Structure 1
Amino acid sequence: MKKTISLLFLCIFSGAITLGGYKYFFENKSIPTLEQTANSEHTLPLKTSSIAGSAAPTDFTQAAENTVNAVVHVKNLSYTRTRSNSLLEFFYGYKGETQAQVGMGSGVIITEDGYIVTNNHVIANASELEVTLNDNQTYKAKLIGTDKQMDIALLKIEADKKLPYLVFGDSDNLRLGEWVIAVGNPFNLTSTVTTGIVSAKARNLSKSGIQSFIQTDAVINPGNSGGALVNTRGELIGINTMISSNTGSYVGYAFAVPSNITKKIIEDLLEYGDVQQAVLGVSGLELNNLIAKDLKIEQTHGFYIQDVVKQSDAEKVGLTKGDIITQINSKPIKTFVDIKSILNTKRPQDKVEVTYIRNGQSKTDMVALIKAQSQQVSYNGFEFEEITEQERERLKINYGLKITKVDNPNYAPYKDELEQGILLSINGQRVQNTAQAKMLFDKIVNSQKIKLEVISSSGELIRILL
């Protein structure tokens, strides 16, 4: 009995010593905090985020649900006649057949009474246009107007109800890396929603530098053309236009016409019947290291003015050759596309704030824009101007200049045939624009003869030796 009591007492005593030792040696010593550890000379100077907790993922559901009801399916029905066969026509009277062709794309309702914006290439050469809403109701559509340069078209349907529509957002406020949602009808799948981010702004895809696109990595495929690009608030910030791909399918690059440009085009079509194009009234070069070296100037970015349009407001405020435009409306100017991205949203007589460098000093003036005019060139009693996109499409040509005036007395008998004809080539070289024509004409000395290839106003091919 005594042994049992002694053993129990010894166990209790040992336990007490163990507990006391633990509390003395472990609990009384503080564990280093994160702040203390960071100050230790043996730790790396890592920075911690000031944001409490991880950021919640972006929720696209509300914006997507609002957008799909305002995106429509656009069907383009056109008719073409197959080429006739002379033998079949002689023996059997066969003159070819008329075949129907169907093109498809997307569109965006922008007003509750049925105005719809889409791409020009979606409705090009259409004999009939048909629009199907997200609820599968179908309507005939009327073409209001187009801007082939920016690939925008405006349609109108007559519905017996108020339609869901998208409001315009400000595409100028887009930021690189911002989330966007693309909604369209690729492969005849209605209301297809994809997401991505803004990869670039003011992206130029034309040789002329007149276009300015939003680039995204949202998945866009054939049929998405004319669909909506919206921000996470569901505001329309672009019209999906094209992809960059060797296969014709999405490979990571997609482009949209910015909403500010689209809105301006639509307002012009409704108010004026065509697009009002405004220009600054100057011409020149984009600066880079090589051009700056040739011009013997230190400035390596901006727009170098070479010429100013006579009697324009740019001339009146004093802009002159050698001035370097660095900003318009406080936005940096590095390329011609930067200028066009601003002017594409303006109209003639609108004023812009132009900041420029002259003799090393920065100056700022308000300049009223002027209406864009067709560029002209003249030579030996002939006057030429550039052909509009509508005329190129009608004539089925992608080069040439229009002959606007013939004052050369040697060709007075042929004046009616030559005026409104098309100059195709100079000395065998195809003519693309007035700048090229002027360069070719300037190279010709007085005694040298020149051969012009012309399509007359009646459609005949004529060769002229001047």
Structure 2
Amino acid sequence: MKKIVSLVMVSMLGGFLSLGSYLIFFDEELIIVEDTSGIPEYTPVNFNKRMAESSMADFTEAANKSVHAVVHVKNMAVTRNPFSSRTGMALQGTGSGVIISPDGYIVTNNHVIQNANKLQVTLNNNQNYMAKVIGSDPKTDIALLKIDAEDLDYLPFGNSNNAQIGEWVLAVGNPFNLTSTVTAGIISAKSRDLGMDANVSSFIQTDAAINPGNSGGALVNIHGELIGINTAITSQTGSYVGYAFAVPSNNARKIVEDILEFGDVQQGILGIRGLQAGKLPAEMEVDVSEGVYVSEVEAGSGAEKAGIKSGDIINQIDNVEIRKFSDLSGYIGSKRPDDVVKVKVLRNGNEKTLNVRLTKYEVYQIKEIGLEVSNATAEELKKSKVENGVKITRGLTPQMQSEQLYGTIITEIDNVPVRNINDVQRILSRRDASDPISVTFVNPNGEKQKYVWR
């Protein structure tokens, strides 16, 4: 599988919009998210159950319900003629979207709407509306739009945890603004890790035909329930070759609810770092092939307080089997801070069930240098022999991921001391985007280094 993934290119299915910055020695590559009563919960009580009672896979009713709830999304930006004062509109990209409430809330991919000045939504009956962005989450590539309309056809959220490998599904999109199109296939895999960002590494894989322009479209089961938002394909050509991927509906729904209630995404974490048990070096003598091996427990986290220890193997959370890390990240991605989950661990041959209260994932992305940082604990600062700083949690680009800087402390940015992520945000917000940025690092061995990005 590793060889296959290395030979293919993961491509997002709409208009790709990217921002970049540059290191001194190399360019950055980017690969390509109040009251919630407006979003109906799962299947309405008046939903027609005839299809569920049928032993035959009949797609007609699900298709009929779906096509009217999938829209075409056109991303436009204002352009200015360099030789005159006249302005115009340029097409940035197109994609699809899914109506999830009768009053006009629409889910799509963040990369479909990124950098848009204007968004136009076209329904399946060719009616056009201007849309506004309610919120988005680039990490999971999910965005929420709103159009001023009523009594719209919509798709109810299904429970993506209940989706089964081999289950028939429909992929519904509106890629060319020629009304919605439907293709059929099966679920090929769940919790599929594409080697991308850890926050979007738990996809539903399907063999339903999906092509560019279907980004943000619906993955629907035969009951007409929305179980995923079509997001990516794996292809060397950029066109469909048999592998397509969708963000699970439970994760998309949680993001939508967070945006409506809190204005941003509330991400809960266990507070562990781990590896798939079956991929551990032989010298570690771990005689388990499935589960997540806990390599490190963060100080002060819910995992530490609940008693999870380094060396534990997590094999189940809330009765959901955990075979690999993407199973864990995908399930936790559907939860919020302060949610309590039951974590079953294998420790020295014995199973233990521990109740873990998730803590809030508080980070800041320094996109200028391709790093994400979080607040450092007193223990982490003491270990690095520094009095202040923030901790690097991950690299945002392939180059920075390869540097393996997790745990490294940043003590200064542009020669200004930083104590928390608020300091980082304040310093970066005041600098001119064209200015170089200097960063002082202290690695876990206490060695100090300073780098400048231009």
Same fold, TM-score > 0.5, yes or no: yes
The 1:157–1:250 alpha-carbon spacing in structure 2 relative to 1, beyond 3 Å, is: same
The 1:176–1:300 alpha-carbon spacing in structure 2 relative to 1, beyond 3 Å, is: closer
Match of 1:420, as an amino acid? Answer: I
Contact 1:353 1:367 in 2 (8 A): yes
Match of 1:454 in 2: 452
Is residue 128 from structure 1 mapped to residue 118 from structure 2 by the alignment?
yes
The 1:321–1:190 alpha-carbon spacing in structure 2 relative to 1, beyond 3 Å, is: same
Match of 1:248, as an amino acid? Answer: G
Report the alpha carbon displacement of residue 243 of structure 1 after superposing the two structures with TM: 1.2
Contact 2:411 2:418 in 1 (8 A): no
Distance 1:171 1:226 in 2: 16
Distance 1:368 1:419 in 2: 30
Q: Deviations over 1:177-223 (max 9, x none)?
A: 11111111223332111111111111112344332111111111111
Contact 1:403 1:421 in 2 (8 A): no
Match of 1:79 in 2: 78
Q: Deviations over 1:390-446 (max 9, x none)?
A: xx89xxx988999975499xx679999998359xxxxxxx999x9xx76xx34676x
Equivalent residue runs for 1:18-417 within 5 Å: 58-80=57-79, 100-159=90-149, 161-211=150-200, 212-288=202-278, 290-291=280-281, 293-374=282-363, 375=374, 383-386=389-392, 405-406=411-412
Q: Deviations over 1:243-274 (max 9, x none)?
A: 11111111111111111111111000000011
Match of 2:313, as an amino acid? Answer: I
Alpha carbon RMSD of aligned pairs, Å? 3.8
May I ask how many residue pairs the two structures share in their alignment?
Answer: 368
Report the alpha carbon displacement of residue 357 of structure 1 after superposing the two structures with TM: 1.5
Structure with the higher fraction of residues in helix conformation: 1
Query: Counterpart of 2:227 in 1: which secondary structure?
Result: strand
Is 107-116 or 206-215 further displaced after alignment? 206-215
Report the alpha carbon displacement of residue 452 of structure 1 after superposing the two structures with TM: 2.2
Distance 2:248 2:213 in 1: 19
Distance 1:217 1:205 in 2: 16
Distance 1:312 1:417 in 2: 22
Q: Deviations over 1:360-393 (max 9, x none)?
A: 111112111111133357666672455999xx89
Query: Counterpart of 2:198 in 1: which secondary structure?
Result: coil
Match of 1:18 in 2: none
The 1:357–1:188 alpha-carbon spacing in structure 2 relative to 1, beyond 3 Å, is: same
Distance 1:147 1:419 in 2: 21
Query: Counterpart of 2:236 in 1: which secondary structure?
Result: coil
Length-normalised TM-score, structure 1: 0.70
Query: Counterpart of 1:263 in 2: which secondary structure?
Result: helix
Which structure's CA Rg is the greater one?
Answer: 1
Distance 2:438 2:224 in 1: 46
Q: Deviations over 1:33-86 (max 9, x none)?
A: xxxxxxxxxxxxxxxxxxxxxx9752211111111111111111013568x8xx
Contact 2:314 2:343 in 1 (8 A): yes
With a CA cutoff of 8 Å and minimum separation of 6, indicate the structure with the bigger relative contact order.
2
| Amino-acid identity (%) | 50
Contact 1:204 1:210 in 2 (8 A): no
The 1:345–1:417 alpha-carbon spacing in structure 2 relative to 1, beyond 3 Å, is: closer
Match of 2:162, as an amino acid? Answer: N
Report the alpha carbon displacement of residue 283 of structure 1 after superposing the two structures with TM: 2.1
Match of 2:107, as an amino acid? Answer: V
Match of 2:286, as an amino acid? Answer: I
Query: Counterpart of 1:201 in 2: which secondary structure?
Result: strand
Distance 1:371 1:340 in 2: 14
Length-normalised TM-score, structure 2: 0.71
Query: Counterpart of 1:122 in 2: which secondary structure?
Result: helix
Distance 1:120 1:259 in 2: 15
Distance 1:206 1:94 in 2: 46
